[in-house]
Amino acid sequence: MTRRPPAHKEIVGVDLFVQWGHGTADDLARRLKPLADGALELTMITNRGVKVWPGGLPETFTTDHWRCRFMATGAIGGVIGHGHIARLMQRAADLDIDFIKTENLCTFDGEPGFSLGQGQ
């Protein structure tokens, strides 16, 4: 039996799941944008699987559970490390943003190993 070599894995972003019920997706985006540090930028917010920021429809029914996607910027070559994610989480904690979990977004041999959001 021949084993395939492992795929080359890179972390290219992180989904930060947030519990928040104090306004619209645009309001949440304004709270989250300061978390960007040059290595990561907020690119999308979804709620119940529907993209609500940027360009969401105001009539979309939302709950208090949001997926906030931060992607690596081109300034650092589009790849981040665990330290970038830990610092993002610390900045969120410093701003009293109630994050409830994270999911690392990885590529394998350059192919996304995660689901793309609407419009990505």
CATH class of the structural domain 14-112 = alpha beta
For residue 30, the model assigns a pLDDT of 96
Q: pLDDT per residue over 14-72, tens digit each?
A: 999 999 998 999 999 999 999 998 899 999 999 998 999 998 888 888 899 999 999 99
Q: pLDDT per residue over 93-120, tens digit each?
A: 999 999 999 999 999 999 999 987 766 6
User: In degrees rounded to 5, what are phi and psi of residue 112?
Assistant: -60, 135
Amino acid 35 reads L
Q: pLDDT per residue over 76-91, tens digit each?
A: 568 999 999 999 999 9
Secondary structure class of 84 (helix, strand, coil): helix
Give the integer Cα–Cα distance in Å for 90 and 97.
10
In the chain, what are the domain boundaries?
Answer: 14-112
Q: Classify burial at 86, counting beta carbons within 10 Å of its beta carbon; exposed 0-12, middle 13-18, buried 19 or more.
A: exposed
0.85 cut: is pTM over it?
A: yes
Question: How large is the greatest C-alpha to C-alpha distance in the chain, in angstroms?
Answer: 57
Give the integer Cα–Cα distance in Å for 67 and 20.
11
